[in-house]
Structure 1
Amino acid sequence: MTATTALPQGDLRLLDHPVARRLLASTELARVAYVAPDDTPRVLPMLFHFTGDEVVFCTFAGARKINDLRARPHVAVTIDTTTTPPQVLLLRGPVTVTDVDGLAPEYLAAHHRYGGQEQVDAVLADTGDQPVRMARIGLRPAWVGVLDFTTRFPGGGSADDFAARGRS
């Protein structure tokens, strides 16, 4: 049992839970949810880079989500596996959106983690000498949740509690 096993959902120290550390270093996509100006939800799969303090997403200038996130900066993020039992990292909090001239370092770092130097070289070749503007979207989590469906379950109960859900 690790020191993070008994922490309640929402505790920022869950970023040190083994499942969280594994997912933050993984090549799973993050799914970023936010609310658009028409009050409808949006979810986008995105590459990400974890700096140790922030989960950073990058997008090219002109993307609609940039202004949407500036207007309503609160997001929910999930990074999860497709294995059984699933492993899930849940994050919530406000993001900061910063304009970047050129390719954001975290964008290249994410590409390196997902596809190695070959993928970084392809990104660099794609942009060539053309001027590029990006937006760096940084999330400093205000709430962290971990589910592994072995020791940590939705609702905080035990495996027996989880198995009994929905039964009279």
Structure 2
Amino acid sequence: MAITTNQGYARLPQGDVGLLASEVAQRLLHSTALARLAYVAADGSPRVFPMLFHWTGDEVVFATFGGARKIRALRARPAVAVTIDTVGPPPEVLLIRGEAEVHEVDGVLPEYAAAQHRYYGEQAAAATIAEIDQPGLRMARIGLRPRWVGMIDFQTRFPGGTTADEFAQVGREGD
């Protein structure tokens, strides 16, 4: 059962995957906002990469072309974090953590095509797909099944799990 009110999902703790059913999460998962994928690169340094994504209902799916450096890095260290957000006001933020699974495929990844259509519309997506859909194309599917979900909407959910009153006092000198 989907929780569609702020009050309904406000009672779920940060980390609860049930937050994915909230109105805010669903809006962000079906939006054209870029997802920012954070992972550890092969040299051990952190990376954050903005990417188009497709939500399957179970996984956040990213696509990249075969040979991309992030493929090897994600296989070596699959723990990732993702944020999808709006600037607001008020800003809305969806935070997801889990382990990425990477599979290489021949040809255009279906989730890549779906993301192209959602972000750019039918005509532009068709042109992009036709341009890359050539013999020998290899793509990688990066699938993330959420294991931890956080939500901040600056109305009922604030950073650090604070209330609106507590958040309003952050950074102010105490009594």
State whether TM-score is above 0.5.
yes
Contact 2:40 2:46 in 1 (8 A): yes
- Structure 2 letter corresponding to 1:42: R
Shift of 1:130: 3.0
Q: Distance in 2 between matches of 1:129 and 1:150?
A: 48
Cα RMSD of the aligned pairs, angstroms, is: 1.1
Contact 2:90 2:155 in 1 (8 A): yes
Shift of 1:128: 4.5
Match of 1:50 among 51, 55, 59: 55
Contact 2:42 2:72 in 1 (8 A): no
Q: Distance in 1 between matches of 2:43 and 2:77?
A: 11
Residue 129 of structure 2 corresponds to which residue in structure 1?
124
Contact 2:107 2:133 in 1 (8 A): no
Question: TM-score of the superposition, structure 1-length normalised?
Answer: 0.96
Contact 1:5 1:17 in 2 (8 A): no
Q: Distance in 2 between matches of 1:128 and 1:79?
A: 28
Shift of 1:35: 0.8
Structure 1 residue 36 corresponds to structure 2 residue 41:
yes
Structure 1 residue 113 corresponds to structure 2 residue 113:
no
Residue 82 of structure 1 corresponds to which residue in structure 2?
87
Question: TM-score of the superposition, structure 2-length normalised?
Answer: 0.92
Q: Distance in 1 between matches of 2:78 and 2:170?
A: 34
Matched residues, number: 168
Structure 1 residue 142 corresponds to structure 2 residue 147:
yes
Report Cα offsets for 1:34-53 as digits up to 9, x if no partner. 01122211000000000000
Structure 1 residue 164 corresponds to structure 2 residue 169:
yes
Match of 2:108 among 100, 103, 110: 103
SS of 2:8's equivalent in the other structure is coil
Shift of 1:17: 1.1
Shift of 1:27: 0.2
Q: Distance in 2 between matches of 1:107 and 1:119?
A: 13
What is the identity percentage for the equivalent residue pairs of Structure 1 and Structure 2? Answer: 62
Contact 1:80 1:88 in 2 (8 A): yes
- Structure 1 letter corresponding to 2:128: V
Q: Distance in 2 between matches of 1:92 and 1:123?
A: 30
Q: Which runs of 4+ in 1 moved over 2 A?
A: 128-131
Residue 22 of structure 1 corresponds to which residue in structure 2?
27
Unaligned runs of 5+ in 2: none
Structure 1 residue 152 corresponds to structure 2 residue 152:
no
Unaligned runs of 5+ in 1: none
Q: Distance in 2 between matches of 1:116 and 1:7?
A: 35
Contact 1:100 1:133 in 2 (8 A): yes
